[in-house]
Amino acid sequence: MKLPYLRLLLPAATFIAMACCVSTGTAQNAAKPPIPSGNVTFSLWTIAGQPFQVMIDDFQKTYPNLKVKWTKYSTDEMKQAVRVASAAGKMSDTWFNWGGSLAAPYEDGGHALELTSQLIALYGVDKNIVPAALDLARHNGKLYGIPIWVRPMTIFYKKSIFDKYGLTAPQTFDELEKVCQALKSKGIIPVACGGKFSWMTMRTTDFFVEHFAGPEMHDKLFALEASYNSPEVIKAFAKLKEWVTKGYFNDGFISLDPAQALPLLQQDKAAMIFQGPWIEDQNIIASHEDPSNYVPIIAPADQKPVRVSGFQEQLQFWTKAKPDEQKAALLFASFITTPEIAKRHIADFGSPSSVVGVLPPENRPIASQMAKWLQGGVGLYLPTDQALPQELVNAFFQAQDSLVLGTLTPEAACAQIQKAVEEYKSAHK
């Protein structure tokens, strides 16, 4: 049977230890990558809000003959753009992507360039990127992209609202539910969520599965070695329905754009959100707010080992790009992931970084807090939309959203997912 595109993260403490222990001087001794001659323009597709401008400016200053044609999309527009471009046979020279099953179709379909051992050494990837991040980016043992960031995702709370109502950060699942109940009684939305496109709701669902099923079974679900139609997963889906019924999410969240969820906290309408470290630079600091007012906590799943959701983010390269454009795109990715450049721009380019020895700046409390967790041994599990094949992700989303809308019971939702799993396994024997 063809296995799903599961990528389990190594313990995050290993990631940080590797980042701190590998000599940055070694990376500087790597062979110099080729520089295209003449004027070359290559295309780059990323998500709007990602801070590539500082890196593009430095790159074009360093290599005046190389220009970046940068196109920005929303998260879901980005996914759609790459799908359409691959079908049309005309992709960007380089594009932003996640890993797991989100990248696998372009890797299996021959659209994403395989970084051979020669290319890895030539562009310094083996020296500049921590091994744990490279492991996340590999598919069937091969590397098809250069990791840029590693992203934990967890619960954030707004400190000023918690202080106003005398609440403290929950450390257990029971405490989390009591906080939700207290906030609801005060007229504050406990958890802001943008359920349109399903993946933001998924973060909470994944957390419930981690709590009720535990890490070992959660991983087996991703590997299709455990049943979604099990008591543990049914409890997780029942808890999601319970939170919806109790009004712990914002009204009509199932149709709200994810970009509109964080503003509910910024406007003091909601107190918590399930998010990642990127909101520090892209939203909070960009809005001239104090990032220390948005506090990440380890989502209290009450399980050992302690884990939160997380993934790596990378740049991939089109196999059919013109040689000079491809070389320029690879050079750009190599340039922004050299320790010297990554350290220079860490405050603007964001963290946690995938680059050797590059840690968050002191004035980034959110990323710094997450780095401390990672150093303390907090692990990561992939979100469902990267851990499962996309056919099954769609089935998961459909069942999850139908549960929220009240058209499926928890039992029926889980049975529907497991039916899709069995059909997938039968078709991929």
Would you place residue 11 in the very low, low, confident or very high pLDDT band (cuts 50, 70, 90)? Answer: low
- Identify the pLDDT of residue 1: 45
Strand partners, 295: 157
Q: What is the pLDDT of residues 292-314, one digit of tens each?
A: 999 999 999 999 999 999 999 99
- Identify the pLDDT of residue 31: 66
pLDDT at residue 251 greater than cutoff 90: yes
CA nearest to 5, candidates 163, 144, 169? 144
Please tell me the pTM assigned to this model: 0.84
Would you place residue 20 in the very low, low, confident or very high pLDDT band (cuts 50, 70, 90)? Answer: very low
- Identify the pLDDT of residue 313: 95
Q: Are strands 142-143 and 270-275 parallel, antiparallel or unpaired?
A: unpaired
Would you place residue 79 in the very low, low, confident or very high pLDDT band (cuts 50, 70, 90)? Answer: very high
pLDDT at residue 253 greater than cutoff 50: yes
**Rounded to 5 degrees, what are φ and ψ at 253?**
-60, -25
Q: Considering the chain, what is the average pLDDT of its residues?
A: 92
Give the residue-averaged pLDDT of 150-160: 96
- Say which range, 6-20, 86-100, 165-179, 262-276, has the weakest mean pLDDT: 6-20
Question: How far apart are alpha carbons 85 and 82 in whole angstroms?
Answer: 5
The pLDDT > 90 percentage for the chain reads 83
Question: How far apart are alpha carbons 364 and 231 in whole angstroms?
Answer: 41
pLDDT at residue 385 greater than cutoff 90: yes
More confident residue, 3 or 389: 389
**Cis peptide upstream of residue 352 (ω within 30 degrees of 0):** yes
The pLDDT > 70 percentage for the chain reads 93
Q: What is the pLDDT of residues 95-127, one digit of tens each?
A: 999 998 999 999 999 999 999 999 999 999 999
- Identify the pLDDT of residue 132: 74
Domains of the chain (ranges; CATH) run: 12-151+310-381 (3.40.190.10), 154-309+383-427 (3.40.190.10)
pLDDT at residue 21 greater than cutoff 90: no
- Identify the pLDDT of residue 131: 81
Question: How far apart are alpha carbons 397 and 76 in whole angstroms?
Answer: 14
Q: What is the pLDDT of residues 28-61, one digit of tens each?
A: 444 689 999 999 999 999 999 899 999 999 999 9
Burial 2-16 (b: 16+ CB within 10 A, else e): eebbbbebbbbbbbb
- Say which range, 209-213, 268-272, 352-356, 420-424, has the weakest mean pLDDT: 352-356
Give the residue-averaged pLDDT of 154-161: 98
Would you place residue 377 in the very low, low, confident or very high pLDDT band (cuts 50, 70, 90)? Answer: confident
pLDDT at residue 405 greater than cutoff 90: yes
Give residue for tokens 């079974």: 217
pLDDT at residue 145 greater than cutoff 70: yes
Highest mean pLDDT out of 11-15, 30-34, 354-358, 393-397: 393-397
- Identify the pLDDT of residue 351: 86
CA nearest to 238, candidates 418, 410, 408? 410
Question: How far apart are alpha carbons 234 and 408 in whole angstroms?
Answer: 12
pLDDT at residue 18 greater than cutoff 90: no
pLDDT at residue 240 greater than cutoff 90: yes
Would you place residue 3 in the very low, low, confident or very high pLDDT band (cuts 50, 70, 90)? Answer: very low
Q: What is the pLDDT of residues 129-141, one digit of tens each?
A: 988 788 888 998 9
Q: What is the pLDDT of residues 62-77, one digit of tens each?
A: 999 999 999 999 999 9
Determine contact, residues 170/300, Cβ cutoff 8 Å: yes
Q: DSSP label at 129?
A: B
Number of continuous H segments (helices) and E segments (strands) in the chain: 21, 11
SS3 148: strand
pLDDT at residue 427 greater than cutoff 70: yes
Would you place residue 154 in the very low, low, confident or very high pLDDT band (cuts 50, 70, 90)? Answer: very high
